[in-house]
A and B are shown apart, each in its own frame.
Chain A
Amino acid sequence: MDTVKKEHQLIVSVSPHIKSEETTSRIMWSVNAALLPATVMGAYFFGPRAVFILAIAIIAAVLSEYIFQKSLNRKVSVNDGSAFLTGLLLGMNLPPSVPFYIPIVGSFAAVVITKQLFGGLGFNVFNPALIGRAFLLISFPKLMTIWKEPTAAFIQFDAKTTATPLGILKEEGVAKLMEAFGDNISLYTQLFTGHRAGSIGETSSIALLIGAAFLLYRGYISWHIPASFLGTAALIAWIFGTKGALFAGDPIVHLLSGGMLLGAFFMATDYVTCRSVKIGQILFGIGCGFLTMLIRLKGGYPEGVMFAILIMNCFSPIIDRGFKTKVFGARKEIKESKK
């Protein structure tokens, strides 16, 4: 008995006594890292101005969260990386030509109004970055729809303004789009690398896919939402994509342009505002894909990803109520009760 340290202070707590190493902040920072390739491509195509906009959006997001939490005497949680992520995503969703106060306004709307006023991380109904962007699009419609031509070199300050591929598609049709990019192959290539007009972080499909592959590999997102989102959108684009003819649309153009990939892999999959049950996720993704294409093909805007995801965010609680998981062994119970 004497060799046992009687004075040893034992820690007592209820089971389980071990936990995984996964933490919320590790997940958030991993998503930030997954966005890095697309960020780099954005900087490459849209120059130093794009970098400033991203930086301002991030700093504004982190600062507004810090100030909000400090002033309400709450625990400051900026280290968890979620405010950083919101700022980054917002910045990536802005045109590269916006004035520098725009990301500040947007980040404030995203972090304070959408997230903190609803109770902070975990309680927001809507995707913060998308509300931030929607807020800006409605408040500053002009500024938010001026697009710059991408440049091949990092240093170029006075790029021409131009239209996005979706803008051309909406206003002038597919023939004009081909003309603008040369031919089919050239169009696809440029959409794939990201050499096109658009929001800072949405243009490079390859960079976004690399980031998405990382998240899928690490298990931070599952295939359910992106697959159902993109699959539904592609199907609708194929069937109804060309006016006057069925089954003649070009799904590839639709998938690779606008914010489709950024939205499907990085925004619709936001844990807090999507659904946690797999079947609910698939419904959520189908809804997103459907609404995106409805807006793109029939709506007043050339792009519909943002509103589609925000609208589906509204449905999330209902989807959650309607699609609970099946309890182990439950089917048998139903059979028996029928007898």
Chain B
Amino acid sequence: MSLATFKGGIHPPDKKDISKDRSISPAKPPKRVVIPLAQHIGAPCKLSVIVGQEVKKGEVIGAPEGFVSAPVHSSVSGKVIAIGEFPNAMGRMVMSVVIENNGKEEWTSLKDNPDYMKLPPEELRAKVKDAGIVGMGGAAFPAHVKLSPPKEKPVDVVILNGAECEPYLTADYRLMIERPQEVVEGLKVLMKILGVNKGFIGIENNKPDAVEAMKNAVSGESNIQVCPLEVKYPQGAEKMLIKAAVGREVPPRGLPMDVGVVVHNIGTATAIYEAARYGKPLIERVVTVTGEGIKEPKNLMVKIGTLVSDLIEECGGFKSEAAKVVSGGPMMGFALYSLDVPVTKGTSGILVLPEEGVVHAEEFGPCIRCGRCIDICPMGLMPSMLSILSEKGFYEETKEYNLFDCFECGSCTYVCPSKRPIVQLVRLAKSLVKP
């Protein structure tokens, strides 16, 4: 049986074995957390606490500004000890709130509402918004925005993204194995908010037990379908996933909404379930700490704002060969220059790579026009031409080759036998020309 997929893509070693059998365990409570006020795509939050103020778990410390924004909550109970600019995983300085943890784990208010499914869609949407939920696969786009499609773009399908196509990462996999029911409940909330009666859960087939677990969990739901996908990067890219699961192609530079689809990540779905049922804000998430350079790989439930250095310590520290620490997956994650950066809502993993697995400013050769990048580009672009034009400074001309349709999955750079920094040259061109 051939599995659902898209055209193109690459097959990097998936390296999931390193962490896939470690159940999700709560990370040690951090002594202090550094919570950035901008953890999402969109406007940063407005600060709503002052230094010295006592806060509880789940208390709003940053209020959203504008529609495309999401509130930020305290992930611990304790005292605000500093407010200022701190580095984030992308290497930028962002306004952040530092809170000293008093260890009491006092919540603002959490109440169980088992009848949450009876709430009207608007109320559920408001709960998602108030919980500060953003896309937890990495992009961190505010979830409620995707749940408010304009009238002219009717949505009829919700897809949960369980592809987890980035090598190494196992956070979503563990959630599907350990909490399949919550994932399904989250999907049902999403479907209710959008008034949709078709749900799909797309899972790469290198996780047969996750496929099995999810199939069992949806056995009573006639309108939800589990869709095993071919193992291929970037299977979890929104457009590729939609193509694979329902066969629709999002037009260039369009949104999933343009073809009636809303996609959410597995982690996001569980967060939405918790928000709908308990009113629990997004203050913690599963983070896979893995890679050949970490002593004890783990899947940890981590409070937002916990420093990466705390997680490395909890996982036994580095092995001697550790050379690079990446926030996110190896294909699209960010290399950290400091371990004193916080886990944010979009941090799916902390990856410690050894020296030999690391690609950095190495010499590269000329394009030999082998066409590998063209064959595998999931967007049907010609990365070789983009890289040649950008390398020679013909930035405007890159637009003829659909520069702005590239979503920077990095597959071209992975396969290039000349080791050319193709996606980097694409980014360079993007930063120098206007769409």
B310 neighbours in A (Cβ, 8 Å) = 1
A13, A17, A331, A336 interface centre (most CB from chain B within 10 Å): A17
Partner of B250, one of A3, A16, A277, A329: A329
Within 8 A of B (CB), among A256-294: 271-272, 274-278
For the complex, is A22 an interface residue (Cβ under 8 Å from B)? yes
CA distance A16 to B383 in the complex (A): 15
Whether A160 sits at the interface, judged by CB under 8 Å, is: no
Contact B369 A15 (CB under 8 A): no
> If A1-B313, A271-B371 touch, does A328 touch B415 (CB 8 Å cutoff)?
no
Q: Which residues of chain A come closer than 8 Å to B318, judged between CB atoms?
A: 4-5, 8
A20-B382 in contact given A5-B318, A10-B335, A328-B252 (Cβ < 8 Å): no
- In-complex Cβ contact of A27 among B309, B405, B417 (8 A): B417
Query: Taking CB as reference atom, which chain A residue is nearest B308?
Result: A4
Contact of A14 among B6, B252, B335, B370 (CB under 8 A): B335
> In chain B, residues 259-302, which have Cβ atoms closer than 8 Å to a Cβ of chain A?
none
Contacts of B338 in A (CB 8 A): 10
Complex Cα distance A12/B361, Å? Answer: 9
In the bound complex, how far is the Cα of B253 from the Cα of A22, in angstroms? 32
Across the interface, do B414 and A277 meet the contact criterion of CB distance under 8 Å? no
| Segment at the interface with A among B20-28, B215-223, B324-332 | B324-332
CA distance A11 to B351 in the complex (A): 13
Point out the residues of chain A lying under 8 angstroms from B417, CB to CB: 20, 22-24, 26-27
A15 nearest CB across to chain B (Å): 5
Q: Which chain B residue has the least Cβ–Cβ distance from A335?
A: B251
Q: Is B156 positioned at the interface, with any CB of A under 8 Å from its CB?
A: no
Query: Inside 8 A of B180's CB, which chain A residues have their CB?
Result: none
Bound Cα distance A301, B322 (Å) = 63
* Main SS class of interface, A: loop
In the complex, B162 has a CB within 8 A of chain A: no
B252 lies within 8 A of A329 (CB): yes
Interface stretch (choices B37-45, B48-56, B372-380): B372-380
The contact of B382 among A4, A18, A277, by CB within 8 Å, is A277
Contact assessment for B333 and A327 in the assembled complex, using a CB-CB cutoff below 8 Å:
no
Contact with A along B348-371 (1 / 0, CB 8 A): 000101010111110001111111
Contact call B330/A121, Cβ cutoff below 8 A:
no
Partner among B91, B322, B374, B414 whose Cβ is within 8 Å of the Cβ of A325: B374
Spot the interface stretch: B80-88, B123-131, B418-426.
B418-426
Q: How far is the CA of A24 from the CA of B359 in the complex (A)?
A: 16
Q: How far is the CB of B295 from chain A (nearest CB, A)?
A: 10
Provide the residues of chain B in CB contact with A277, threshold 8 Å: 371, 374, 382
With contact pairs A17-B353, A122-B367 given, residues A12 and B335 touching in the complex (Cβ less than 8 Å) = yes
With A and B bound together, what is the CA distance between A11 and B375 in angstroms?
31
B358 adjacent to A11 (CB under 8 Å): yes
Q: B312 to A4, Cβ gap below 8 A?
A: yes
**Residues of B393-409 whose CB lies within 8 A of A:** 401-402, 405, 408
A218 within 8 A of B: no
Q: Which of B228-259 contact A (CB under 8 A)?
A: 239, 243, 249-252, 254
Q: Is B347 an interface residue (CB 8 A)?
A: no
Q: Are B239 and A328 in contact (CB under 8 A)?
A: yes
- The verdict on A13 contacting B332 (CB below 8 Å), with A272-B368, A276-B384, A329-B252 known, is no
Give the nearest-CB partner of A324 in chain B. Answer: B382
With the chains together, A336 CA to B357 CA distance in Å? 45
B145 contact set on A, CB distance < 8 A: none
Q: Kindly state the separation between the CA atoms of A324 and B424 in the bound complex, as whole angstroms.
A: 22
Once A10-B325, A121-B365, A327-B379 are accepted as A-B contacts, the answer to whether A16 and B414 lie under 8 Å apart by CB is yes
State in angstroms the CA–CA spacing of A27 and B368 once bound together: 11
**Nearest-neighbor residue (CB-CB) of A28 within chain B:** B368
Q: Given the complex, which residues of A lie within 8 Å of B249, measured CB to CB? A: 328-329, 331-332
CB distance from A63 to the nearest CB of B (A): 21
Taking a contact as CB atoms under 8 Å apart, the answer to whether A328 and B379 are in contact is: yes
- Residue in contact with A327 in the complex, picked from B252, B328, B339, B372, CB distance below 8 Å: B252
- The smallest C-beta distance from B52 to any residue of chain A, in angstroms, reads 24
B402 A17 Cβ-Cβ under 8 A: no
Contact B379 A16 (CB under 8 A): no
Tell whether A122 pairs with B369 under 8 Å between CB atoms, given A12-B337, A17-B358, A327-B252.
yes
Is the CB–CB distance between A328 and B378 below 8 Å?
yes
> B-facing mask of A20-39, CB < 8 A → 1, else 0?
10111011000000000000
B94 adjacent to chain A (CB < 8 Å): no
Contact B317 A276 (CB under 8 A): no
Chain B: CB-nearest residue to A82: B368
Q: Which of B326, B368, B381 has the most CB of A within 10 A?
A: B368
Chain A residue, CB-CB nearest to B407: A328
Chain B neighbourhood of A27, CB < 8 A: 368, 370, 417
Contact A332 B415 (CB under 8 A): no
Whether A19 sits at the interface, judged by CB under 8 Å, is: yes
The 9 closest A-B pairs by CB, nearest first: A276-B371, A122-B366, A16-B410, A329-B249, A13-B360, A271-B370, A17-B330, A11-B324, A22-B417
> What are 22 A-to-B residue pairs whose CB atoms are below 8 Å?
A1-B310, A3-B313, A4-B339, A10-B323, A11-B335, A11-B360, A12-B360, A13-B324, A13-B358, A14-B335, A15-B326, A15-B332, A15-B333, A15-B408, A16-B332, A16-B410, A17-B357, A18-B331, A119-B366, A325-B382, A329-B250, A333-B251
Chain A residues packing against B (C-beta within 8 Å): 1, 3-6, 8, 10-20, 22-24, 26-27, 77, 80, 119-123, 271-272, 274-278, 324-333, 336
List 6 extra interface pairs beyond A15-B334, A122-B365, A324-B401, CB under 8 A.
A10-B337, A11-B355, A19-B413, A122-B366, A328-B405, A330-B252
